[in-house]
Structure 1
């Protein structure tokens, strides 16, 4: 078969990212190994995706990934340039247009409400069925195992988020995990002159917990060109009997955010409540889940006691954000997050106290395919 014929139905996409990371800590700063403790690190991430129709109704997908960190100073002054590509995702999709249903089977990024949906979200091997036969409603069911835990490290539930070489010292300890099963209903409807987007998620992770989540957002235009959005979410779980003990508690998170946009200006006001002051609990499975639209700041939700993916502490936070976008390309903005973590008076329960973060941001959208961004974050823990 000629090369031109072989590749004519192949779609190629990908991401190329360079990130410069560095962090400085006051000598009295409480140990928080989850925060940005890099020293002039150069981080390279590249993903190349190939998708091809291989038969009627069948498509194959493969993703190659490159992820390396070149240290810039001190003991981290090393180079990982020799690190090669590896196959991160590999799956087959069958689509039946008559019933508006797709079946995706293989090694794939899960993209759940409890996992990161960006380029480095949790990958597992499994099957997902997606149906769009009802107008405005997407129904999905999924099952997965063989999670790519090494890629996530401390971002995955059950792994350590404190400075220790013993992962079992993680606040939320998981001795073993089983299969993950779940379903979701995601809607998008025109309502009262605006857009209403509800979500319902259910999942059972064997030997861990039964997870449930509800998210709803409503957007509309009020007065003269003022875009207004209100979003709220509740995430909870009921622990498996193996974890339902004196050191673990069921997790609950309540979040609410309102935002406006007008003539290039944008602002938001929001808050969160989650966690248990005496026992370890979690509200997501990996990193901060797919909750970015309900969070602010960069580092504060990674501090000890406040991590969403397993920690000990009752957390209450409020935040405001604001910014201005010039010519639809350059945005200058800031976040301010304030709150605190309450823990019981025990030596092994770190992370309690008042917490504050202030962030300055600049984002430049050079073109639809090229973006530049930078932020400076200041975190204070009392």
Structure 2
């Protein structure tokens, strides 16, 4: 056969002719496609006072995020979904400059890098990518939905709203009235706001660090979710079970709830057995036991959290836009690492930062570096929390106050570097006023200022530690479509 060599121009022309018959107007091509998402701006300012003028850990940044999800119409019981997003931040530390990698301190005024920032600003652009790409199958013969592909992880131990995702299969079935059964298997997964830094085994929460990182250990889940309306209110319950190969031997989340016209109540219990075998995720994160401050291998540690919460909403019975919540959190096992993401909803709470702050030493995420996973360390927590909010102007303006008081007792059997004195008690108080304004159906403006004070009691002769303030100011504008 004789091949004919074509010029680049001729090749392009022939290619255009060969595809012209498949072209169609844009309006026709996107007809029926559902589009949803949001545009969000945040200003986040963490203001730390460690005593003696030490403000290390303080930071401020502008954060931008855009999310768009596209869903095609169902054709022959199949629909396709595509989700894209953009995310970036600009570090603006108000004269503190960028972090010095050697000592973790911000550069001081008059020194090198004192007025530098990082991120978007006037520099290079940031993160853009595909967060979902899946097919949805809905057979006619059963009330079943099957999702295949890259999708958000909408579970009690992850946070789909912030982009936690996995690649695999999810099946939902509602053939039994009032009951939804779920089963899922993912061969890899990623937590957006907390990512593993493989260089030094430290967990990073910076918005632009390591977001391409995923965990290639299979994750499996089973769940049953039940809810029924009665003359005495709505009764609900859910039970989830998770297994992560070479990381979580078992993770269980259970909840019982009741919602009346005025009052409501909720009980939650979470349990996790974390695996620290030599080929596990936690072994690679926290060491091989060669030093005193690292957990030993071949340990499976227990973590749990128990929550009881009551509340009242006065809208229905008294036409008063007032909502009140009271709750208590404690644990019985060695640690409180009962989720893959702090923002996961498996532990109800009030307050904005105490539950994900190194100052209190409390984290429900197994991936947070400062949380207690039970590897050579035991933790006992008692936290009381409350929240109240009131709405004005046709409920478009909402003001609230959140409060948390807690105690965290940490004891170590091996005097590790994170707890050199063996026992540490932290008492903390967080008071957070909040405000939000629903400017329109799509646009909401909100802000809060979290005041968190930590008081330390180190059990050792002559030991002392200054109180530490961990405050956060946040302003957010979110447009949903």
CA RMSD of aligned residues (A): 2.8
Q: In 1, distance between residues paired with 2:26 and 2:203?
A: 54
Query: Which one has more relative contact order, counting CA pairs under 8 Å at least 6 apart?
Result: 2
Return the match for 1:28 from 51, 62, 68.
Answer: 51
Residue 348 (structure 1) aligned with residue 388 (structure 2):
no
Aligned to 1:147: 189
Correspondence list, 1:191-340, <5 A: 191-209=230-248, 210-221=250-261, 227-240=262-275, 242=277, 249-262=301-314, 263-274=320-331, 282-291=337-346, 294-304=348-358, 305-310=361-366, 311-312=371-372, 313-326=379-392, 327-340=394-407
Q: In 1, distance between residues paired with 2:409 and 2:311?
A: 28
| 1:138 CA drift (Å) | 1.1
Name the CA shift for 1:89/1:352 in 2 (closer, same or farther; >3 Å). farther
8 Å contact kept, 1:297–1:335: yes
Aligned to 2:37: 14
| 1:355 CA drift (Å) | 1.1
Corresponding residue SS for 1:133: coil
Q: In 1, distance between residues paired with 2:225 and 2:79?
A: 24
Count, aligned residues = 357
8 Å contact kept, 2:136–2:146: yes
| 1:275 CA drift (Å) | 6.8
Q: In 1, distance between residues paired with 2:385 and 2:55?
A: 21
Aligned to 1:224: none
Residue 129 (structure 1) aligned with residue 171 (structure 2):
yes
8 Å contact kept, 2:131–2:163: no
Q: In 2, distance between residues paired with 1:336 and 1:169?
A: 28
Residue 38 (structure 1) aligned with residue 38 (structure 2):
no
Cα deviation digits, residues 65-86 of structure 1 (max 9, x gap): 1000022243362342622531
Q: In 2, distance between residues paired with 1:211 and 1:49?
A: 30
Aligned to 1:111: 154
Name the CA shift for 1:129/1:136 in 2 (closer, same or farther; >3 Å). same
Which protein has the bigger strand share?
Answer: 1
8 Å contact kept, 1:117–1:290: no
User: When the two structures are superposed, what TM-score results if normalisation uses the length of structure 2?
Assistant: 0.69
Which segments of 5 or more consecutive residues in structure 1 lack a partner in the other structure? 171-175, 222-226
Q: In 2, distance between residues paired with 1:48 and 1:77?
A: 29
| 1:5 CA drift (Å) | 2.4
| 1:166 CA drift (Å) | 2.1
Q: In 2, distance between residues paired with 1:148 and 1:31?
A: 34
Which segments of 5 or more consecutive residues in structure 2 lack a partner in the other structure? 1-23, 99-115, 205-214, 281-295, 315-319, 373-378, 456-481
Return the match for 1:68 from 71, 88, 93.
Answer: 88
Indicate the larger mover: 346-355 or 98-107. Answer: 346-355
Name the CA shift for 1:4/1:88 in 2 (closer, same or farther; >3 Å). same
8 Å contact kept, 1:275–1:282: no
